[in-house]
């Protein structure tokens, strides 16, 4: 017996050394944290990259090489960033907590992958960044610095933030990550914070397009989503209810799906939540499509007042690219933009911090997704195949659009490129080449929608009509 025991231990030790030890010796390659500076979020990508705007940032694959082409150097870099991962908004956190309570007090069973729900404690907060979301922004600042360090060594970015707490905190975390990467002793400060609220002109936060805020345009995204919900949720709802013995509604079924990204974000290391395993890969694709519909029809090309609300920012971008004063009569604040202290034109690097909805409108104003096939509200499509549109590819947490100018040996004029979450966006509308570049003048010319005012008068069409009557 003893010798058998010894032999067992020997075999076990051998097994341990061949199977376990080499792996632990190889720790630096296998010790993968989920969120990284270079690739962003990389755990279970077949699920985690399909959470719409609730995805943690990840580096999107690019058909065009994202590095500057041979013979070119970057002469200008700007970033428009979403805030990092956060807790659910106030209304949602109450609804999610109630859904968990309802499951816990009405389930007849917690089988298999549902077992953890029995003792799950709902502790999510509301509205603010989570630690994992803060880390996303630190990583984002380092990512920007690493990409553009040659330019940035002599040219610190001018930084603006929209005024909400989580956006301001995101900008500061980004500056912290930037300072760490640049080996600076302390981070720089935000240069301008623009408050959010009714009646405030803020190109980083929509509020003043009256016809949108109080009219039917605001409901178009929800309506498109509702049609898709009626298609994709019932089978999921039936499965969950039959497993748990509950009677969850369609909305409560979606809340259970929302818990996956939010519970992941509440883990300081952003460990993939147990909620995520309640649903299949195909179901996550359907969920991602649901979120994409909301952005496309709520704020993007699918909304008649979507692109209009992004025009002010585009005109500011054109001013920076061409170093000429801002020409805009939409939501820019002309007092801020006329003052070199709050809107300098001679900088070579800029960073702006905002929200997903505002960024969706800005991308639409730029025309970046003009060639995307309009999204169907009844059948799922791989929208990333038609010019890279999905909410997870455009506005995940810590999303970032880089607009860069390249100075190249082969041309007198500078070029412009747009890089969406590390993916080079083909700029067909200004005749971009194989490197995704348009000449600066062709790019400026292509932006006639913004330069021409972007139908801003439509924002007040109703009030004009009623004040006439």
Ligand X SMILES: *[C@@H]1O[C@H](CO)[C@@H](O)[C@H](O)[C@H]1NC(C)=O
Instruction: Give buried/exposed letters for 99-108 (b at 16+ CB in 10 A, else e).
Output: bbebbbeebe
Residue 232 has φ and ψ, to the nearest 5°, of: -95, -25
442 touching ligand X, by CB under 6 A: no
466 touching ligand X, by CB under 6 A: no
- Report the residue number whose CB is nearest to ligand X: 367
Q: Categorise residue 314: left if φ over 0, alpha if ψ from -120 to 50, beta otherwise.
A: alpha
Residue 145 has φ and ψ, to the nearest 5°, of: -60, -45
Min dist CB 9 to ligand X, Å, is 28
What angle is formed at CA 86 by the lines to CA 263 and CA 165, rounded to 5 degrees?
Answer: 155
Residue 67 CA to residue 401 CA, distance in Å, equals 15
Q: Tell me the torsion sign for CA atoms 353, 141, 317, 388.
A: negative
227 touching ligand X, by CB under 6 A: yes
Nearer to ligand X, 204 or 408 (CB): 204
290 touching ligand X, by CB under 6 A: no
Residue 67 CA to residue 337 CA, distance in Å, equals 32
Q: Is 83 a catalytic residue?
A: yes
Nearer to ligand X, 95 or 128 (CB): 95
336 touching ligand X, by CB under 6 A: yes
370 touching ligand X, by CB under 6 A: yes
Min dist CB 329 to ligand X, Å, is 6
Of 164, 330, 383, 458, the residue at the interface with ligand X (CB under 6 A) is 330
Q: What residues between 133 and 192 interact with ligand X by CB under 6 A?
A: none
Nearer to ligand X, 151 or 403 (CB): 403
224 touching ligand X, by CB under 6 A: yes
Q: Which stretch binds ligand X (CB under 6 A): 60-68, 84-92, 223-231, 352-360?
A: 223-231
Residue 452 CA to residue 367 CA, distance in Å, equals 14
377 touching ligand X, by CB under 6 A: yes
Q: Is 143 a catalytic residue?
A: no
Residue (of 235, 364, 236, 349) closest to 299 by Cα position: 364
Binding residues with ligand X: total (CB under 6 A):
29
Of 13, 98, 238, 411, the residue at the interface with ligand X (CB under 6 A) is 98
Q: Note the residue count of the chain.
A: 469
Of 102, 156, 188, 461, the residue at the interface with ligand X (CB under 6 A) is 102
Q: What residues between 47 and 76 interact with ligand X by CB under 6 A?
A: none
Catalytic residue of the set 35, 49, 83, 355: 83
Residue (of 424, 339, 431) closest to 387 by Cα position: 424
Residue 413 CA to residue 111 CA, distance in Å, equals 65
- Residue 181, both tokens: 């990467």
Sites of contact with ligand X (CB under 6 A)? 27-28, 31, 33, 98, 101-102, 105, 200-201, 223-224, 227, 247, 249, 329-331, 333-336, 367, 370, 377, 429, 446, 448-449
Show which residues are catalytic: 83, 356
């Amino acid at each position: 017996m003893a010798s058998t025991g010894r032999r067992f231990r020997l075999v076990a030790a051998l097994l341990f050394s061949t199977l376990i030890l080499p792996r632990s010796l190889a720790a630096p390659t296998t010790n993968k944290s989920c969120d990284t500076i270079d690739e962003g979020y990389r755990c279970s990508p077949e699920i985690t990259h399909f959470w719409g705007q609730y995805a943690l940032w990840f580096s999107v694959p690019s058909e065009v090489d994202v590095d500057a082409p041979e013979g070119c150097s970057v002469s200008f870099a700007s970033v428009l960033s979403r805030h990092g991962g956060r807790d659910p908004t106030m209304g949602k956190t109450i609804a999610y907590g109630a859904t968990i309570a309802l499951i816990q007090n009405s389930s007849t069973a917690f089988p298999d992958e549902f077992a953890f729900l029995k003792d799950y404690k709902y502790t999510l907060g509301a509205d603010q960044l989570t630690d994992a979301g803060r880390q996303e922004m630190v990583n984002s600042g380092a990512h920007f610095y690493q990409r553009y360090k040659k330019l940035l060594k002599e040219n610190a970015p001018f930084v603006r933030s929209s005024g909400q707490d989580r956006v301001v905190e995101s900008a500061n975390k980004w500056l912290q990550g930037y300072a760490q990467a640049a080996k600076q002793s302390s981070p720089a400060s935000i240069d301008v914070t623009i408050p959010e609220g009714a009646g405030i002109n803020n190109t980083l936060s929509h509020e003043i397009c009256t016809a949108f805020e109080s009219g039917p345009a605001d409901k178009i995204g929800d309506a498109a989503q509702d049609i898709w919900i009626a298609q994709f949720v019932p089978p999921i709802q039936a499965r969950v209810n039959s497993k748990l013995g509950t009677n969850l509604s369609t909305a409560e079924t979606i809340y259970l799906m929302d818990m996956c990204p939010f519970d992941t974000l509440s883990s300081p290391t952003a460990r993939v939540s147990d909620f995520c395993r309640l649903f299949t890969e195909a179901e996550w694709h359907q969920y991602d499509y649901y979120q994409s519909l909301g952005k496309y029809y709520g704020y993007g090309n699918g909304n008649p007042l979507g692109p209009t609300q992004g025009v002010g920012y585009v005109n500011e971008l054109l001013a920076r690219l061409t170093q000429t004063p801002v020409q805009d009569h939409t939501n820019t604040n002309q007092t801020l933009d006329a003052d070199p202290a709050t809107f300098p034109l001679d900088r070579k690097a800029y960073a702006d911090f905002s929200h997903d909805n505002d960024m969706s409108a800005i991308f639409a104003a730029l025309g970046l997704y003009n060639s995307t096939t309009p999204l169907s509200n009844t059948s799922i499509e791989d929208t990333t195949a038609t010019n890279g549109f999905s909410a997870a590819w455009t506005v995940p947490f810590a999303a970032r659009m880089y607009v860069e100018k390249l100075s190249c040996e082969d041309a007198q004029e500078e070029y412009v490129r747009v890089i969406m979450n590390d993916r080079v966006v083909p700029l067909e509308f200004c005749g971009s080449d194989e490197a995704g570049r348009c000449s600066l003048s062709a790019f400026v010319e292509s932006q006639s929608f913004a330069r021409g005012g972007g139908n801003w008068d439509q924002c007040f069409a109703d009030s004009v009509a009623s004040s006439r009557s």
